[in-house]
Amino acid sequence: MELFHSVNVDWLGKKWYFLAFSLIFSVSGIISMAAHWAHPVGGRRSPVPLGVDFRGGTQVEVQFKQTPNLEEIRRATSDAGIRDASIVNYDIPSHNEVLISLPEQHAETALDTGRQQIENALRAKFGEGAFDIRNVQVVGPTVGRQLEKQATLATLYSLLGMLIYLWFRFQLIYGIAAVIACFHDTLITVGAFALLDSFGIKGMEISLTVIAAILTLVGYSMNDTIVVFDRIRENLRLSRRESLPDVVNRSINQTLSRTVLTSGLTFLTVLSLFVYGGPVLRGFSFALVVGILIGTYSSIAIAAPMLVAWQESRAGSGKTAALPAAKRSRV
């Protein structure tokens, strides 16, 4: 069985469609992020919904024996004097789970009182056996700052590592094209979180594990782009008479089966994780699902056309026509 026998698509010819597609998703992502920024939750502004790791505060996951009524719960907490409690449904409805969140406490001596208050309020209203506390997360401001710092350092070092690696393996223009493709992927993936939120789908939040997913998919997208670039480089070396756009098109067509299959298989596994993996990993698997799709797309639709566009702008300004042969690979 073979899905991609003798493909011959003019990818570069379709670049305006690709650009439009990317623009639509990027811009809607940006607009959602701006909208989210404009409506701060609990005193913290951010472009995307933040998990408790970065938002700080208290988050209690409660499972009720019977379908919970959010209004009743809200009344229970406000009766107990708890202010600014956010109460939302969690996981699939048949699980009867509710997420109760409190904003960040600034006095670190009393960090835990929120959780106790919630528990007491629920017990008073519903009775001892009517609910079960499944998960509690309380993050104080000190740890919140530390986690932010860790996430930022991880991102910076990852990007740095990638740039260094690209510098060794490829010429500058390849590297820039790959980095722009990765940036595009990250923007759309992160924007997807904000987009869901603006459609009213709550609960997809950026937590530490989601950052890990994003860093992983950046690496994955980079790999994918490298597969195409490797082939372009090889074909450039072998044939000096073809124009760059033709070489690029041929390279993409040759690697198409490889690219689509590898991404497809990884996508299958990640989709399984998204569907069956449970609510704790949902943000993580969502980031991977979107990221893998976009990462594959960007290698063909963004990185390759960028190469050609750069080349054509250089040709237009009178510089050398053919893309200089890149560094010899280690084969």
Question: Which residues ranging from 247 to 286 are in contact with another protein (CB under 8 A)?
Answer: 254, 257-258, 261-262, 265-270, 272-273, 275-278, 280-281, 284-285
Q: How far apart are CA 25 and CA 314, in angstroms?
A: 29
**Binder of another protein out of 80, 143, 187, 196 (CB under 8 A):** 143
**Binder of another protein out of 150, 239, 243, 313 (CB under 8 A):** 150
User: Tokens representing 130?
Assistant: 């009517």
Nearest distance in Å: CB 296, another protein: 12
Sign of CA dihedral 41, 45, 47, 51: negative
Q: How far apart are CA 280 and CA 51, in angstroms?
A: 11
Provide the residue type at 25 as one letter: F
Q: What pairing do the DSSP bridges indicate for beta strands 57-64 and 97-102?
A: antiparallel
Nearer to another protein, 84 or 108 (CB): 108
Site string for another protein, 213-242 (x = CB under 8 A): --xx-xxx-xx--xx--x------------
- The residues in 39-78 that bind another protein, with binding defined as CB under 8 A, are 53, 61, 63
Residue 81 phi/psi, 5-degree rounding, is: 85, 15
Residue 140 lies near another protein (rule: CB under 8 A): yes
The answer to whether the beta carbons of residues 253 and 8 sit under 8 Å apart is yes
Beta-bridge partner residues of 88: 99
Nearest distance in Å: CB 176, another protein: 17
Exposure letters 277-291 (e unless 16+ CB within 10 A, then b): eeeebbbbbbbbbbb
- The residues in 294-313 that bind another protein, with binding defined as CB under 8 A, are none
Nearer to another protein, 65 or 75 (CB): 65
Nearer to another protein, 53 or 197 (CB): 53
Sign of CA dihedral 181, 185, 187, 188: positive
User: Tokens representing 55?
Assistant: 């938002």
Q: For tokens 């993409």, what's the residue?
A: 252
Nearest distance in Å: CB 328, another protein: 11
In which element (H, E) is residue 64 found? strand 57-64
Nearest distance in Å: CB 317, another protein: 33
Nearest distance in Å: CB 309, another protein: 25
- The residues in 156-185 that bind another protein, with binding defined as CB under 8 A, are 157-158, 161-162, 165, 169
Nearest distance in Å: CB 57, another protein: 11
Nearest distance in Å: CB 289, another protein: 12
Nearer to another protein, 28 or 203 (CB): 203
Nearer to another protein, 83 or 330 (CB): 330
Nearest to 170 by CA among 14, 324, 315: 324
Residue 120 lies near another protein (rule: CB under 8 A): no
DSSP state string for 86-140: EEEEES-GGG-EEEEEEPPPS-GGGTTHHHHHHHHHHHHHH-GGGEEEEEEEEE-
Residue 130 lies near another protein (rule: CB under 8 A): no
Residue 288 lies near another protein (rule: CB under 8 A): yes
Nearest distance in Å: CB 8, another protein: 15
Which window, 16-24, 145-153, 173-181, 318-326, contacts another protein (CB under 8 A)?
Answer: 145-153
* Residue 79 CB neighbour total at 10 angstroms: 11
Find the angle CA(132)-CA(136)-CA(140) to the nearest 5 degrees. 155
**Binder of another protein out of 45, 75, 106, 134 (CB under 8 A):** 134
Number of residues in contact with another protein under rule CB under 8 A: 73
